[in-house]
Structure 1
Amino acid sequence: MSQINRAAVSIQSNIAEGCSRNSEIEFKRFLEIAMGSLFEVETQLIIIQELGLINPEELNSIFELIAKEGKMINGLIKTIKNS
């Protein structure tokens, strides 16, 4: 669980740090790192589910939130690429 917590905190931390940078290229890089952390959280939850440590139905709403957050981050990345 501590691995999931660290990765989850890393998502927001990287977005915030990227916002503070002076270039869009660096902001994009931090957004990509945030996406990596988001995938890490998702992977850890899949592992927990596969090990039978949690009811899969309990994770459905979390997986929906992960997908939504991923779309938002990807939207920011695309906006930066197109500017």
Structure 2
Amino acid sequence: MATIKQFEDLLIWKDARSLVQLVYAYCNNINDKSFTNQMQRAAISIMNNIAEGFERSSDKEFYRFLDIAKASCGEVRSMSYLASDLHYMSSDQSRELEFKSRLLSGSIYNMMKYLK
């Protein structure tokens, strides 16, 4: 396995970045700004916690930040259900966010297992 030297090389960070872009695209036409702000912040939290944890000085710290990122995946997934319930997003958009956040959560969990 190649040594990862920067967080930008991590697949989980790249996937989190893609999820942020998708959340922003799907929230673009939602008029409930507090809802969109919360969902966008949760998605950004995933990406930034992966980056910040990687930049920490130990695997233990990285693990802690990955745990936070994983929790934020759950928040994005939960809000995607609400977006569908409130008809803020189409069912297809909501399902895509649910799927991608669940997949990313699993990938983060695998990285956490690797660090332990």
Q: Normalized against structure 2, the TM-score is what? A: 0.65
Which runs of 5 or more residues in structure 1 are unaligned? none
Quote the offset at 1:53 in angstroms: 2.7
Quote the offset at 1:44 in angstroms: 1.1
Matched residue count = 81
Bigger relative contact order, structure 1 or 2 (CA pairs below 8 A, ≥6 apart): 1
Q: From the two aligned structures, give the one with the greater helix fraction.
A: 1
Q: Is residue 44 of structure 1 aligned with residue 44 of structure 2? A: no
Identity of aligned residues (%): 33
Provide the C-alpha distance between the structure 2 equivalents of 1:55 and 1:5, rounded to a whole number of angstroms. Answer: 17
Which runs of 5 or more residues in structure 2 are unaligned? 1-35
Return the match for 2:57 from 22, 28, 33: 22
Q: Is residue 79 of structure 1 aligned with residue 114 of structure 2? A: yes
Return the match for 1:3 from 23, 27, 38: 38
Return the match for 2:98 from 43, 54, 63: 63
Provide the C-alpha distance between the structure 2 equivalents of 1:12 and 1:30, rounded to a whole number of angstroms. Answer: 10
Residue of structure 1 equivalent to 2:68: 33
Q: Which runs of 4+ in 1 moved over 6 A?
A: none
Provide the alpha-carbon RMSD of the alignment: 1.2
59-68 vs 30-39, which moves further: 59-68
The SS at the match of 1:52 is coil
